[in-house]
Chain A
Amino acid sequence: MRSIETIPDLFHSFQTKNDEALVYHNGFRTFRYTYRELHERVLKCAALYAARGLSEGDKVVLWGVNSPEWVISFAALSHIGAIAVPLDFQTTPEAAEKIVRHAGATFVVKARSRSPFLTDYPTLFLDDLEEDLGPFAALPIKSSVTEDSVLEIVYTSGSTGDPKGVVLTHKNVLTNAKSVRSLLSLSQDDMALSVLPLSHMLEQTCGLIVPLLAGMRVYYAVALTPSSILRALRHEPITLMIVVPHVVHSLRDRIQSRIRAAHLAPFFDVLLRLVHHLPLSLRKKILFPVTNKFGSRFRYFVSGGAPLLPEDDQFWSALGFPILQGYGLTECAPVLSAEVSLSHRPQSVGHAVYGVELHVAPDGEILARGGNVFSGYYQNEEATHEVFREGWFCTGDLGEIDADGTLFIRGRKKELIVTSAGKKVYPSDIEAVLNRSKGVRESCAVGIPEGGGERIVAAVIMEGVVDLRAVLKEANQHLDSSQHITDLIAWPESALPKTPTLKLKRSAVRQALMSRKNETEGTDSAPSRVIQLIAQVTGKEPTKIHSAQFLVRDCGLDSLARLELVALLEQELHCDISEDDITDDTKVKDLESHVETRARSRHLFEYPFWPHHARLRWVRTLCMESLYMLLPRLLVKRTIRGIENLETIKTPVLFAANHVSHLDQPTIYCSLPRAHRHTLSTVGWLDAYELQSGWRTILNPLKVALYCFAATTTGLVLLSPRASHKRSMEHVGRLIDQGESVLVFPEGDRTTSSELLPFKQGTALMAKSLAIPIVPIGTRGLERVFPRSRILPRPGRVYVSIGKPIHPGSKSLDEITEELKEAIENLKAE
């Protein structure tokens, strides 16, 4: 086998590999790709790009969320020698325009939801990729890509100034990935949960290329709220996560508020301290109620991008989930050093990884050299010149390397505060103290010029109503006299300004604080974060919003503002919230307590899944085989046509049939081959079964029991019009994930005439959301055997015709519905 020197080499090694590579949850169901399938799609995609006129050296913007389509597009670009320009999905349209122009990109590959933006360029949509690949063949590609070819230009804002494009070659990325791969113990049984954007080099190298080198799996999910992370951990054998510190921090926050809510906090704290000396596996067992939330296989976190809080480090390692900390920069693709031993030294970022040379300059700046270090910023010689000194890359970070080569980070070079007493102060030291104070969410310390030196001023983001004076006093107690904070200010926005890689923009904070120097000192108790956010979306003064006010009536929260608020609460405070949580009767304080207690979002409707669980499938099979299979013997003579149409398709599918009688489902069941009928569920609407009042209410225990009985014995799935479409599809998606096919009656109700009722769009919507083919089935004869008007059935002949599958693809809902109706009409007439 040839050695892997370029991304195409890496993918070439996948062509005969049948292990699973990527797992993707699209919000409804799970899709799985083996290494071979991935390779095939990449080749097809490369052919698609070539057909769109793209060739070597073209710059292509990639603007979407993490998904197999992103990975396929990225790899395909590398195959034809085109240069990817990955954009953070959260990039504002204005910034995106600026980057596209600077990079000179000529083509855009983006998510459909970005359709209204970057409209002046030829475009492909990631959402339609699977469909677009259809006509192309997976032929080997002859390209002149070498290890020194440019793979991508990654735009970083750095901490100051305009975006800079970091030019990375295949060699930069692969050298780094191989070094990291050799550090971590990874096998094909491992699965990484992807939570960082692929436009971030930490995720791209450590979260994608390293797993691909190791032959393991990567799990992608569309939505990444704390609860969806926990759901993924529960359902898939995830063993590690690549994170930035705020991810582990908010997960810890969540666990601790749950424990507080259960009044177990003191007990838990003692337990955490006690287990510290026990082996990892034993800790996990003792703390089972918490650790089992991470599934049985979870092993460790890999953290980078920003310094980790020591408290988070201690908390997770006490739980038995150590955090391996690394240090790096986009310019270095990105890892420079990493901590590999589980009993690492606090606050260190480990040793230089293989192939990287580290050196600390006399002024304290960390310098780096190695195959992973980039060659320069795209069309910005000045900036490039600034960061290279005699062949060394100047990181701009300050640090120390001790005798055994362990690196410690001490802050950023330019953000050093020099006090009037000539003392040098690292802002990160002050922030570390502030961040530990109760009620402080994040902080930023800067130096404001005064009397020949600088005085230290800090901006903080508070959680809840906290007395700033007390925070200041407490923090100064923990600081050297030279480090004392002279002024503490509540930052007026919901978060401190940060770069896309979540580094503090200290210069922006500094500028803002300097301009408000003359204003009165803002050390009064700050409005709560929730009120700040409400103020932000409604445009009101935070001081005019009080806890007792109604959100809609008093704060003027209209539907657009409500949407923005919910999104902000989710993004900024990482809480689980839906628009259902804000009604006309919601007061500001209700929302504050929702955030405070990290409550789960109130879902109006939950579907019970247990009756459908694969483990109970035998009950259903037993009941249906013994009961339904009597039908053809006793009552119905059947003529089955079109069974060969099922041979070519793999389960699961959506069967759609006309509906005339209660015997439709049993008759179709009997007519399907064993493989299909043993995994058949039937979807109906709750209303049709007169359960409108909602079967979760205590008033209806009988109906609930009846539902669960019917579900367990006949595979009946009832969807409620009260639940959102999303929830209903998630429910059906889980069935599909466990290999179930689904039978639906698109007419919605039994007909009394021989004509079909108008088709509802539900079937087409379901097929599209779940991306499964529809197999039309037409039955004739049951309208005489057991019509709606009869109490008892009578014997007769029934014709069951199975049609060819209809693939939803990019057809419109109307087209699918029309095609289905026509198909069933024809089959019925056969």
Chain B
Amino acid sequence: MSIGIDMVRIERVRELLSDPAVAGRVFSSDEFVENIASMAGKFAAKEAIFKARGTRSDWLDFKILKRASGEPYVATAMPIDIKISISHEGEYAIAIALIETV
């Protein structure tokens, strides 16, 4: 079992998203939502997953999506189970990832 955590300034993610080429490197089409704070949370979640796995991979390998209930989940083709939790307040978004089996 391993965990990872990441915090990001929402404004930086806004800047990143304003360049479509960069935005497309990090998020796939179905991950985009209007709310920048949510996007920042998703960014932090991906970063937290990299930390939990101890290795970086392509940003698009892990999609951060939301169920109808609003609960976030990770969609990946990799044979691993990842749990995440995301929060944001003021200028920052934060996310934590838990991997049960690697």
Contact = CB atoms under 8 A, between A and B. Distances in A.
Contacts of B32: 112-116
A111 interface: yes
Contacts of A65: 20
Nearest to A724: B58
Contacts of A761: 75-77
- Which of under 10, 10 to 19, 20 to 34, or 35 or more describes the interface residues of B? 35 or more
Contacts of B54: none
A579 to B, nearest CB: 7
A748 B59 CA distance: 23
Contact of A567 (B12, B25, B76): B25
Contact of A116 (B25, B26, B39): B39
Interface stretch (A48-56, A87-95, A275-283, A386-394): A87-95
A221 to B, nearest CB: 13
Contacts of B24: 113
B73 interface: yes
A116 B77 contact: no
B29 interface: yes
Contacts of B20: 65, 89-90, 111, 113-114
Interface stretch (A173-181, A246-254, A558-566): A558-566
B79 A564 contact: no
Contact of A113 (B27, B58, B63): B27
A119 interface: yes
Interface in B26-73: 26-27, 29-30, 32-36, 39, 47, 50, 56-61, 63, 65, 67, 73
Contacts of B22: 563-564, 567
Contacts of A567: 19, 21-22, 25
A571 B12 CA distance: 20
A721 B26 contact: no
A554 to B, nearest CB: 19
Contacts of B27: 113
A685 interface: yes
Given A90-B20, A113-B29, A724 B61 contact: yes
Contact of B34 (A119, A724, A766): A119
Contact of B26 (A89, A563, A762, A765): A563
A560 B19 contact: no
Most chain B CB atoms below 10 A, which of A112, A127, A564: A112
A570 interface: yes
B46 to A, nearest CB: 9
Contacts of A609: none
A812 to B, nearest CB: 7
A760 interface: yes
A726 interface: yes
Contacts of A728: 77
A687 interface: yes
Contacts of B58: 579, 724-726
B17 A812 contact: no
Nearest to A115: B32
Contact of A560 (B8, B30, B65, B75): B8
A766 B77 contact: yes
Contacts of B30: 112, 768, 812
A813 B29 contact: no
B16 A560 contact: yes
Contact of A127 (B29, B39, B65, B73): B29
A115 B25 contact: no
Contacts of B47: 559
A127 B24 CA distance: 13
B12 A113 contact: no
Nearest to A584: B56
A814 interface: yes
B83 to A, nearest CB: 14
A685 B77 CA distance: 10
A814 B69 CA distance: 12
B94 to A, nearest CB: 15
A113 B75 CA distance: 18
A245 B12 CA distance: 34
A140 B12 CA distance: 48
B67 A814 contact: yes
A719 B61 CA distance: 13
A718 to B, nearest CB: 13
B34 to A, nearest CB: 5
Contacts of A762: 77
A348 B101 CA distance: 66
Nearest to A90: B20
B20 to A, nearest CB: 5
Interface in A109-127: 111-117, 119, 127
A553 to B, nearest CB: 15
Contact of A760 (B19, B39, B63, B79): B79
Nearest to B66: A812
Contacts of A92: 18
A382 to B, nearest CB: 31
Nearest to B73: A814
Interface string A806-817: 000000111000
Nearest to A223: B24
Interface string A185-213: 00000000000000000000000000000
B76 to A, nearest CB: 7
A152 B18 CA distance: 25
A725 B79 CA distance: 12
Nearest to B57: A724
A748 B57 CA distance: 21
Contacts of A814: 65, 67, 73
Contacts of B14: 116
A117 B18 contact: yes
A570 B20 CA distance: 13
B78 interface: yes
Interface string A542-586: 000000000000000001100110110011000000010000000
Contact of B79 (A111, A560, A685): A685
B12 A560 contact: yes
Given A112-B30, A560-B12, A748 B76 contact: no
B2 to A, nearest CB: 16
Nearest to A762: B77
Nearest to A127: B29
A762 B80 CA distance: 11
Nearest to A761: B75
Contacts of A748: 79
Contacts of B33: 115-116
B1 to A, nearest CB: 18
A111 to B, nearest CB: 7
Interface string A791-830: 0000000000000000000001110000000000000000
Contacts of A559: 47, 50, 56
Contacts of B67: 812, 814
Nearest to B19: A567
B23 interface: yes
A570 B22 CA distance: 10
Contact of A725 (B19, B21, B61): B61
A527 B22 CA distance: 25
B60 A726 contact: yes
A725 B73 contact: no
Contacts of B29: 111-113, 127
Contacts of B25: 563, 566-567, 579
5 contacts: A93-B18, A111-B20, A116-B39, A687-B79, A814-B73
The 5 closest A-B pairs by CB, nearest first: A724-B58, A762-B77, A115-B32, A112-B29, A567-B22
Given A113-B29, A748-B79, 9 more contacts: A113-B24, A114-B20, A115-B33, A559-B56, A566-B25, A579-B25, A579-B56, A685-B79, A761-B76
